């Protein structure tokens, strides 16, 4: 953890204790407190009465019995650079199987293709899991799609309806990006991966202005969920889907994925660098590749460094 991140974490601990602190105490090198989702009133940074911070015991209380047995370590930080980077760093020292990391504020969150992932304080869920997957590395293309289904299933169980998926790593709500998934391979020998997921619960206008795409959050659509409950249930759902993936691969999940895919049957573009392919999304393959019907026939695309966009 960098010195600046540590300073921010210490400030947040004091803020949680006192509920308001003079804005002058905010670390000078951290930039504007507003970009982290913190609100200033009459010269003080204040916390809303309904703001919920993450607590390890509350998260653990909402894990399924199976995942509670699987869990080896649960870390909760007030501020962290990136939950994925944290576990990837720990993986250099040994196995991270059974490890969950959460942060109330993620300062250097990463999305797919190196994009920045905004994660304002206590208004988002930023979580990473380390898990050993009993499958071939060659089949992992479908794993991020399985994790997307796990998130949809979890949110639906908590009353959040109509969440859709965008191949290969995004969750959408009413057309805006609600969340994203980032998988990183730790070891091909044991097929150990770090699964990162971020979900927007509530975004201020300042934070929305920092994002270069249409975003969505649960609060704006009338959904109020406990972050601790969501963290425990989502971790449980992800591990459950990973175990299903181990047993049968992505193929048994293919139909469910297509039913939730926002671009199913729609004209889209696949963009890779300066190259572009236009066609209609037919579906996904048994290994998680996107199938596009083009003017020259059907083509399949693996996630890699390509981007799916709606055709203009």
**Looking at residue 238, what is its pLDDT?**
98
Which of 113, 116, 224, 309 is flagged as catalytic? 309
Which of 112, 208, 243, 299 is flagged as catalytic? 112
**Looking at residue 189, what is its pLDDT?**
85
> What are the tens digits of pLDDT across the range 25-60?
999 888 889 888 899 999 999 998 889 999 999 999
> What are the tens digits of pLDDT across the range 101-147?
999 999 875 554 445 556 789 999 999 999 999 998 888 989 999 99
Looking at the chain, the domain(s) classified CATH 2.30.30.100 span: 263-310
283: pLDDT strictly greater than 70:
yes
Looking at the chain, the domain(s) classified CATH 3.30.930.10 span: 56-257
Return the higher-pLDDT residue of 6 and 2.
6
Q: How confident is the model at residue 89 (pLDDT cuts 50, 70, 90)?
A: very high
CB < 8 Å & 24+ apart, contacts of 217-223:
217/123, 217/178, 218/160, 218/173, 218/178, 221/173, 221/174, 223/159, 223/160
- In the block, tokens 């090198």 appear at 29
Q: Does 112 participate in catalysis according to the annotation?
A: yes
Mean pLDDT of 3-15: 94
- Residues 246, 181: Cα–Cα separation, whole Å: 19
Of 3.40.120.10, 3.40.47.10, 3.30.930.10, 3.20.20.10, the CATH number of 56-257 is 3.30.930.10
154: pLDDT strictly greater than 50:
yes
| Domain made up of 263-310: CATH architecture | Roll (2.30)
Q: Does 19 participate in catalysis according to the annotation?
A: no
Which of 166, 177, 227, 254 is flagged as catalytic? 177
Q: Estimate to the nearest angstrom the gap between the alpha carbon of 42 and the chain centroid.
A: 34
- Residues 305, 310: Cα–Cα separation, whole Å: 17
Q: Does 254 participate in catalysis according to the annotation?
A: no
- Residues 282, 264: Cα–Cα separation, whole Å: 6
Mean pLDDT of 155-174: 97
Mean pLDDT of the residues in the chain? 92
- Residues 176, 195: Cα–Cα separation, whole Å: 22
């Amino acid at each position: 953890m960098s010195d600046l991140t540590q300073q921010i974490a210490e400030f947040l601990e004091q803020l949680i204790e006192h509920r308001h602190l003079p804005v002058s105490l905010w670390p000078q090198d951290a930039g504007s407190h507003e970009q982290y989702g913190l609100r200033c009133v009459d010269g003080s940074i204040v916390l809303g009465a309904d703001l919920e911070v993450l607590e390890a015991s509350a998260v653990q209380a909402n894990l399924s019995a199976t995942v509670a047995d699987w869990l080896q370590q649960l870390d909760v930080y007030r501020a962290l650079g990136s939950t994925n980077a944290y576990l990837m760093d720990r993986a250099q020292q040994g196995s991270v199987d059974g490890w969950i990391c959460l942060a109330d504020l993620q300062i250097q969150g990463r999305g797919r293709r190196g994009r920045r992932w905004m994660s304002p304080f206590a208004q988002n869920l930023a979580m990473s899991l380390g898990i050993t997957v009993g499958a071939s590395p060659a089949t992992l293309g479908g794993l991020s799609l399985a994790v997307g289904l796990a998130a949809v299933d979890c949110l639906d169980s908590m009353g959040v309806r109509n969440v859709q998926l965008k191949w290969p790593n995004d969750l959408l709500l009413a057309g805006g990006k609600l969340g994203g998934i980032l998988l990183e391979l730790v070891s091909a020998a044991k097929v150990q991966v770090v699964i990162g997921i971020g979900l927007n619960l509530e975004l201020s206008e300042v934070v929305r202005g920092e994002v270069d795409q249409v975003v969505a959050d649960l609060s704006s659509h009338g959904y109020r969920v406990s972050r601790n409950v969501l963290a425990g249930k989502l971790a449980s759902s992800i591990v459950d889907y990973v175990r299903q993936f181990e047993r049968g691969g992505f193929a048994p999940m293919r139909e469910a994925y297509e039913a939730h895919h926002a671009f199913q049957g729609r004209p889209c573009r696949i963009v890779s660098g300066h190259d572009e392919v236009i066609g209609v999304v037919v579906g996904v393959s048994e290994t998680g590749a996107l199938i596009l019907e083009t003017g020259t026939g059907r083509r399949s695309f693996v996630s890699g460094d390509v981007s799916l966009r709606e055709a203009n």
